[in-house]
Structures are given as C-alpha cells and as structure tokens.
C-alpha cells in the first residue's frame, strides 16, 4: 500500500459501536462514537463498524455469574446480535473475548488458537484468535475477531513475550506474582490494537452489498 492510499483510507468514517465515550475512540477524526447513552443498537449505517459489544454475559465464566447473581448467559439486551448484524451489513470487525459463548450461539466457527483467519460462517465472515499482549496490553487478553467485507490483514499471531499482568478472574498459579488487573485497566483497548481494528474497518470494499 502506498502512502497516498494510506492517507485516503484514514478519511473513511467508521462507527465505533458499544464503546466508552471517554475511551480510546473519543475525539478521533472520522470516528463516530456510539456509547451506552447514545445506544449503539440504534445505529443504522452507512459507515463500516468496529464493534465492542459487552461480553460479561458471554465470557467463559458467564455460567459462574449466572449461578451467583442470576444474570443469564447471553442476556445482553441484544447487543451482540446487533453488533454481528451491523458487521454483516455494513462491513467491519467485531471484537470479543476468546472462547466467547456467542460464537457457538450464532453459528460462528471457533478460530484456531495459533492464529490465522478462517471462514467463520455462511455469511462470508472470517474469524481469528489474537492476543492483545502483542499490541501493548499488559495481560495476554486473548481475543476473537469477526470480520466481513474487508481486507484481512496478517495479525501478530501467537503470544509474543511475557505478560506483566493477569486479568483478575484468571486463576492464580503457584508462584505467579504478576500484577492482577480488572475493570478499566483490563477492559482497555491498546491504541495500536484500536488502530488495527480501524484499519480493518476502513478497508471495507466499496462495492459491498448487504446480505
């Protein structure tokens, strides 16, 4: 890709769905922020999207949350279903924790842990497994992506280096003295990863058609 094409791509507007209005997408040029107050489920296009639907009801420990607090697995107010539909319609990329139960619920193929894009479904989607440690997160933060109608880049596959922190719901191993993080530090999207997701969304095919 030459410099001129890169410059042109940055002018493509992207809708960032289910994000914090004060977070890493705030005040970025050519990025529409759809936060909780704006209700991302009302997004009607026409821009490609980067979607971060809430994950607490879908993570691999959601069964524990259900048993302790009564919040049913998958009961997220339709956020994931909307985000998935938006990516399928307008193009872009969706991010969720690795091993998200939403993948099986919506018939998305589980990506290989070692990396690489694989066919996700019958809608022309693609999925992959990445670790946000490779993009500057202090913990591994294993992540699954779902993308459609975009150019698929080579990601930083595998897990490069040793993490300095571990997300707090992970079981502490004997002798593991790494810093424990949760809340905003755990949920934060590294800027390099954010930019990678925006680049994916901005590569949406100009000739794409809705399903």
The per-residue DSSP string of 133-188 comes to: GGGT-SS--EEEEEEESS-------S--S--SEEETTSPPPTT--PEEE-HHHHHP
Query: Distances from the Cα of 29 to the Cαs of 26, 61, 98, in angstroms?
Result: 9, 36, 30
pLDDT at 166: 64
Mean predicted confidence (pLDDT) in 77-102:
95
What are the structure tokens assigned to 105, written together? Answer: 């619920």
Among 12-16, 40-44, 114-118, 204-208, the minimum mean pLDDT is found in 204-208
Mean pLDDT, the chain, rounded, equals 82
Q: Exposed, middle or buried, 1 (CB in 10 Å: 0-12/13-18/19+)?
A: exposed
* Gap between the Cα atoms of 195 and 16, Å rounded: 12
Confidence band for 75, pLDDT divided at 50, 70 and 90: low
Mean predicted confidence (pLDDT) in 22-46:
95
Mean predicted confidence (pLDDT) in 114-118:
96
pLDDT at 210: 43
pLDDT at 174: 45
In the chain, the percentage of residues whose pLDDT exceeds 70 is 69
Cβ atoms of 90 and 49 closer than 8 Å: yes
Query: Above 60 in pLDDT, residue 171?
Result: no
* Gap between the Cα atoms of 189 and 200, Å rounded: 15
* Gap between the Cα atoms of 127 and 122, Å rounded: 12
Query: Above 90 in pLDDT, residue 142?
Result: no
């Amino acid at each position: 890709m030459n410099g001129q094409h890169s410059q042109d791509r940055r002018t493509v507007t992207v809708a960032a769905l289910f994000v914090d209005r004060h977070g890493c997408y705030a005040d970025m040029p050519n990025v529409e922020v759809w936060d909780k107050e704006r209700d991302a489920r009302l997004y009607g296009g026409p821009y490609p999207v980067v979607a971060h639907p809430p994950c607490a009801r879908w993570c691999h420990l959601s069964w524990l949350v259900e048993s302790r607090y009564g919040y049913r697995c998958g009961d997220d107010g339709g956020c994931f279903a909307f985000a998935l539909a938006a990516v399928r319609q307008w193009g872009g990329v969706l991010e969720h924790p690795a091993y998200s139960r939403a993948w099986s619920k919506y018939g998305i193929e589980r990506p290989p842990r070692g990396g690489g894009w694989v066919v996700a479904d019958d809608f022309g989607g693609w999925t992959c497994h990445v670790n946000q440690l490779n993009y500057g997160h202090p913990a591994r933060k294993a992540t699954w992506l779902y993308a459609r109608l975009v150019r698929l880049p080579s990601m930083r596959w595998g897990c490069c280096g040793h993490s300095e922190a571990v997300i707090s719901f992970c079981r502490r191993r004997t002798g593991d003295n790494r810093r424990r993080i949760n809340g905003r530090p755990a949920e934060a999207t590294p800027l390099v990863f954010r930019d990678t997701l925006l680049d994916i969304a901005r590569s949406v095919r100009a000739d794409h058609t809705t399903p």
